[in-house]
Structure 1
Amino acid sequence: MPRWSIIFVRLVDRLNYGVGRFAMYLLFVLMAILMWSLISKNVLNPSLWTLEMAQFAMVAYYILGGPYSMQMGSHVRMDLFYARQSPRQQAMWDAFTVLALLVYLGVMLWGALDSLGYSLGLKWPEGALLPEIGRLERSPTAWRPYLWPIKLIMCIGFLLMLLQSVAFLIRDIATLKGETI
């Protein structure tokens, strides 16, 4: 395998490992938010922000932890026939499914970027080179937080998952060639 592909795979693995380890701690943030929600509802005045902030923390935990989960092999897979196959046949099936995953993640990233642009108030008029900046999108709830931070996290998560999928595809190609990365 070319040197650049080995460097790419190792860099993506290291990046997703670090982000995934960070994302694990978001579960504690989520628990703290829910604990505060419980206390504020029973002792103080209920906080408006706790439910939505818990949802944002859960989305960040899930989206940023996805590439790490994929890297560690923690995703659900059907092993009825797959486990009985040789590593070369497994790599062939994995390469095929990763190609389908790349298409899916590309569409998801495209939609997430479009949604992020909308939440930032970016509009491209016909024929213009630069966007017009409008209002920032806010949630329609009573708390009304800006939505661009969580949409940015979603874009980052989809990009990291896309990069991890490309790294898996490179590994599968190396396995089909009889090499290891």
Structure 2
Amino acid sequence: MPAALITYVRWVEALNYRVGRLAMWGLFALMAVLMWGAIARAGFSPQIWTDEMAQFLLLGYFMLGGAYSLQLGSAVRMDLLYSRWSDRSKAAVDAITIFTLLVYLGVLLWGGIESTQYALEYGERRRGLWRPYMAPIKIVMCIGIVLMILQCTAFLIRDIAKLRGKDI
């Protein structure tokens, strides 16, 4: 494999590792917001922003940590036949499924970018009492999708290398 592809794979995996580890800390922010909401409801006056902020934090946690969970292999896999196959067969099937995932993520990114442009251009706000702007969370979603695309291309490169008899 060319050195540039090996460097790309290592760079993407290092980036997604760091972003994923950072996203894990977002869980503490989510817990703090939910705890504040529960205390406020029980003690004094309910806060209108806590539920929506918790949803936004959970979405950010999920989207930014998605590529990291893929990297760790914690995604669900149908293992009925897969575990019995050789490494080369697994790599061939993974290359096909990753390619289809890349097509899906490409369409998802396209829609995400259009939605983000709309939110930025028109100052889109979520309906409800708090009415937060939607652009920041849509930007986080697009970043998460890009990270997933980068990780999937790194997987595709690894699978192609494995099919050629070389490991990265």
**Aligned: 1:171 with 2:167:** no
Matched residues, number:
168
Give the corresponding residue for 2:100. 100
For residue 84 of structure 2, what is the amino acid of its counterpart? R
Take 2:73 and 2:159, find their aligned partners in 1: how far apart are those partners?
A: 14
Identity of aligned residues (%): 56
**Larger helix fraction of residues:** 2
Q: Secondary structure at the match of 2:118?
A: helix
Take 2:127 and 2:80, find their aligned partners in 1: how far apart are those partners?
A: 46
**Aligned: 1:150 with 2:140:** no
**Could you give the per-residue CA deviations for residues 89-119 of structure 1, whole angstroms, max 9, x where no partner exists?**
0000000000100000000000000000000
Which ranges of structure 1 fall in alignment gaps of 5 or more residues?
Answer: 122-134
Take 2:44 and 2:123, find their aligned partners in 1: how far apart are those partners?
A: 32
Q: Secondary structure at the match of 1:13?
A: helix
- Structure 1 moving runs of 4+ over 4 Å: none
Give the corresponding residue for 2:29. 29
Give the corresponding residue for 1:49. 49
Larger radius of gyration: 1
- When the two chains are superposed, the root-mean-square deviation of aligned CA atoms in Å is 0.5
For residue 155 of structure 2, what is the amino acid of its counterpart? F
For residue 146 of structure 1, what is the amino acid of its counterpart? Y
Which ranges of structure 2 fall in alignment gaps of 5 or more residues?
Answer: none
For residue 74 of structure 1, what is the amino acid of its counterpart? S
With the length of structure 2 as denominator, give the TM-score of the two structures: 0.99
